[in-house]
């Protein structure tokens, strides 16, 4: 028997959203993955590093998974995270594996010495501080990251907020120019647009609670009527489709 509108929203409101694990959506939503396989790529890069920094690590799940592929962390492994629930989660997950977690707000300078790391990584950073990344990289070191690209989930945002034109700051050409302006050499900058499908309104509500920048003022109460319209749309069409954008960027600090 299908769950009712109210049951789906009640479930989505009470489900935890800490960390960066999306397994709650299994069977309720599907996400197309980028062709490059970031976790595998991250594992390869960690295996060749001596001192690495993962910026805005979330709950540490991606970094821990990459470490398993790399058979462990480099001799020096540090991660940063600014949201307290995620920082606590990442600490519990990463410390036993040999990584140190530093609680650093997203908009704060990195509390590390110049040239401290030969590898800096990040998956879906909320803020990209190119000057700070360049500063903490050692000469010849690399920044390897997967960013959320421009116009990500614009269809989902527009459903709740109405038509709008997103800022272009996350377009991959813009980010490549920002990296160069910080003194880095762009080795590669690839972008792919990918399909995200939701099969019930509870999946959408939970997603919006977790990925808070999609609809910044989202709450179930505030958008209940719009959620009801979405519930009816999914009932008619079987799915709500949105489009994600992902950018793989690798930038190197010139050797001294």
Tell me the C-alpha distance between 97 and 110, whole Å. 22
Which residue would you say has higher pLDDT here, 35 or 71?
35
Strand order in the sheet with 29-31: 29-31, 185-198, 240-252, 137-148, 117-123, 51-54, 76-81, 100-103
Q: What angle do CA 41, 182, 36 make, to 5 degrees?
A: 15
Three-state secondary-structure class, residue 196: strand
Q: What is the pTM of this model?
A: 0.87
DSSP letters for 18-32: -SS--GGGTTTEEEP
Strand partners, 240: 198
Tell me the C-alpha distance between 59 and 92, whole Å. 9
pLDDT at 21: 82
The string of pLDDT tens digits covering residues 159-213 is: 999 987 777 778 999 999 999 999 999 999 999 999 999 999 999 999 999 999 8
pLDDT at 186: 98
Three-state secondary-structure class, residue 231: helix
Q: Give me the domains of the chain, ranges plus CATH numbers.
A: 5-252 (3.40.50.150)
User: Measured between alpha carbons, how far is residue 35 from residues 107, 152, 207 in Å?
Assistant: 30, 17, 23
Which residue reads 């307290």 in tokens?
84
What are the φ/ψ torsions at residue 129 (nearest 5 degrees)? -95, 90
Q: What's the rounded mean pLDDT across residues 224-250?
A: 97
pLDDT surpasses 60 at 1: no
The string of pLDDT tens digits covering residues 46-69 is: 999 999 999 999 999 999 999 988
pLDDT surpasses 60 at 144: yes
């Amino acid at each position: 028997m299908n769950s009712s509108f109210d049951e789906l929203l009640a479930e989505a409101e009470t489900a935890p959203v800490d960390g960066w694990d999306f397994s709650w959506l299994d069977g309720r939503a599907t996400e197309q993955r980028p062709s490059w396989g970031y976790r595998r790529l991250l594992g390869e890069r960690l295996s060749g590093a001596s001192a690495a920094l993962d910026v805005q690590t979330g709950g540490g799940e991606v970094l821990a998974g990459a470490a398993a592929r790399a058979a462990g962390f480099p001799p020096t492994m540090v991660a940063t995270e600014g949201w307290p629930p995620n920082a606590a989660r990442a600490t519990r997950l990463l410390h036993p594996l040999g990584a140190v977690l530093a609680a650093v707000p997203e908009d704060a300078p990195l509390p590390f010495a110049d040239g401290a790391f030969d590898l800096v990584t990040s998956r879906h950073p909320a803020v990209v501080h190119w000057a700070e990344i360049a500063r903490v990289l050692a000469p010849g070191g690399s920044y390897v990251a997967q960013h959320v690209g421009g116009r990500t989930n614009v269809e989902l945002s527009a459903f709740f907020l109405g038509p709008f034109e997103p800022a272009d700051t996350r377009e991959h050409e813009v980010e490549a120019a920002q990296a160069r302006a910080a003194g880095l050499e762009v080795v590669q900058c690839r972008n792919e647009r990918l399909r995200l499908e939701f099969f019930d309104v509870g999946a959408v509500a939970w997603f919006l609670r977790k990925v808070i920048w999609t609809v910044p003022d989202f709450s179930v109460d505030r958008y209940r009527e719009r959620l009801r319209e979405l519930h009816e749309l999914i009932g008619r069409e079987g799915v709500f489709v949105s489009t994600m954008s992902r950018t793989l960027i690798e930038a190197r600090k010139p050797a001294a």
